[in-house]
Structure 1
Amino acid sequence: MGKRFSAQFFFILILSLNPVSSSHQLTLRMSGQPLMSETGPVKLECQSNKHGFMDFGVFWFRQRKATKSPESILFLSPTSKSTYSDTSDYRHFKASKGTTTFSLEIDPFGEKDQGIYYCMINKNSILYISPGISLYYPAVTTPEPTTTTVSRTRDPELGDPKDCSPTASSSENGFLGIPCDVFIWGPLMGLCCGLLLALTITAILLCKGTRRRHCRCKHVPLKEKPAAQTQRPCRLA
């Protein structure tokens, strides 16, 4: 704990006392495969666009997402000796020095290692800080549930609609504003007409069977009829 506190204090002291130059002197990039959700090695390369920077040491530090100030990871001396701010947290970090670049390898890279990384070189009491590079796992987006609508169509052979629900345009094509009104009211009206016709025929037949016959001739009593007068036939009405 004391070593980590002294390293953080030393890092803050350098930032406060030494002037900081433009970050265009250093470039920082990640080499290798893009960052995925699986843990694996991640390698960062810090390079200068001017000569003479490789004779100095390099500082590596990181700013986590939930923190406001950066934290020191390690310092690589000009003789390629690494000094960690906390050995237990950064033991999977390995710094190296090449002919033109400084490298930092994180193996394996886990969720706790996500953040914005920087490299810094102290040259002649002037600090050169690189632009930050963000190392975060890609955000996982949950697809929104989609609702499937079943379209009901007419049977091409029977011409029978499969959907009897009212629609916006059904009032122009149907009797009651529904697509299948013809198939409902047509047979119903035919049945009513058939029943009415059957009732009419039955009533006519009943009236003919119960109709009484009446004689329209005038009956004359037998005593008053003349002897020569014959009986006239009755005409049935």
Structure 2
Amino acid sequence: MAGSPALLLLLSLGLCCTGAQGQRNTMEARFFNRNMKHPQEGQRLELECTPYNSDSGVSWVRQDKDGKLHFIVYISTFSRTTYPGNEKTSSQFEGSKQGNSFRLVVKNFRAQDQGIYFCITNINQMLHFSSGQPAFFPVTTTTAAPTTPAATTQRSQVTKKDICVQSSDPGTSNRNMLNFYCEIYIWAPLAGVCLVLLVALIVTIVLCQKTRRRRCRCKRPPNGKPGAKPSVPPRHI
């Protein structure tokens, strides 16, 4: 029986399916550490199973997320173990019998070791299934932090396009206000340009007047030659 646990399971299922359903909850598979809820990755996980009759061997199986069953180890009443492929040892699992309980140790719990663990025993040609012990990583839930608008001290620059955008409010007062702002932003620059041109024109006129006055104050030389004496007109007798 210790040499071919898979064959034993198949024969027992064929002979005693009805009895197995009736005796399903006579055993319990659970964590050896009662305070454990979820195993951590890389942790050493220990499970134990106490069958209804400790005179029969126990097989440990795991049901994965897809519902497939995976044989792990068969532990005889003399604490002899048989792993898949009729191997006597395993690098990942360790089985033993201590007193009336059959223990399974997962040396390094990994993602592929997640699932529901069961122990199965054959008593009086009837299969007895234990209750399943789920062994999954804890579910991590990330809560998004509430977003608060960042306080800004910079003033938003108001452009003509922003102000002249028509409001969705159909009220006449809002439209009139927008039109008023648009007229201000259109005519104010024009008025400023006109004022600058007017000032420039006034300055130009003043400068021209000063230059003209300076030219008028200059004395012309007599007879049109510099240094010549003024000529006296002849008198007629």
The alignment's TM-score, normalised by the length of structure 2, stands at 0.56
Change (3 A) 1:23 1:124: same
Q: Match for 1:47 among 50, 56, 65?
A: 50
- Aligned counterpart, 1:11: 9
Q: 1:80 deviation in Å?
A: 1.9
3-state DSSP of counterpart to 2:190: helix
* CA distance in structure 2 between the partners assigned to 1:193 and 1:45 by the alignment: 94
- Aligned counterpart, 1:131: 131
Instruction: State whether residues 44 and 109 of structure 2, in contact with CA within 8 Å, keep that contact through their aligned partners in structure 1.
Output: yes
Residue 39 of structure 1 aligns with an amino acid whose one-letter code is G
Instruction: State whether residues 61 and 72 of structure 1, in contact with CA within 8 Å, keep that contact through their aligned partners in structure 2.
Output: yes
- Aligned counterpart, 1:81: 80
Change (3 A) 1:12 1:185: farther
Higher normalized helix content (fraction of residues): 2
* CA distance in structure 2 between the partners assigned to 1:91 and 1:154 by the alignment: 64
3-state DSSP of counterpart to 1:61: strand
* CA distance in structure 2 between the partners assigned to 1:92 and 1:199 by the alignment: 94
Alignment of 1:100-119 (within 5 A): 100-119=100-119
* Structure with bigger RCO (C-alpha 8 Å, 6+ apart): 2
- Aligned counterpart, 1:96: 96
Instruction: State whether residues 46 and 101 of structure 1, in contact with CA within 8 Å, keep that contact through their aligned partners in structure 2.
Output: yes
Q: What is the aligned residue count?
A: 186
3-state DSSP of counterpart to 2:50: strand
Change (3 A) 1:197 1:78: closer
| Percent of residue pairs bearing the same amino acid type | 28
Deviations 1:126-148 (A, max 9, x none): 2220122333445678999x9x9
The alignment's TM-score, normalised by the length of structure 1, stands at 0.56
* CA distance in structure 1 between the partners assigned to 2:107 and 2:78 by the alignment: 23
Any unmatched runs of 5+ in structure 1? 203-237
* CA distance in structure 2 between the partners assigned to 1:14 and 1:109 by the alignment: 31
* CA distance in structure 1 between the partners assigned to 2:88 and 2:79 by the alignment: 20
* In the alignment, structure 1 residue 161 sits paired with structure 2 residue 165: no
Q: 1:64 deviation in Å?
A: 3.5
- Aligned counterpart, 2:31: 30
Deviations 1:176-203 (A, max 9, x none): 49xxx94x75354223345668999x9x
Deviations 1:35-82 (A, max 9, x none): 22x32311112235xxx52233212122334564x2332221222222
Q: 1:15 deviation in Å?
A: 1.9
Alignment RMSD: 4.6
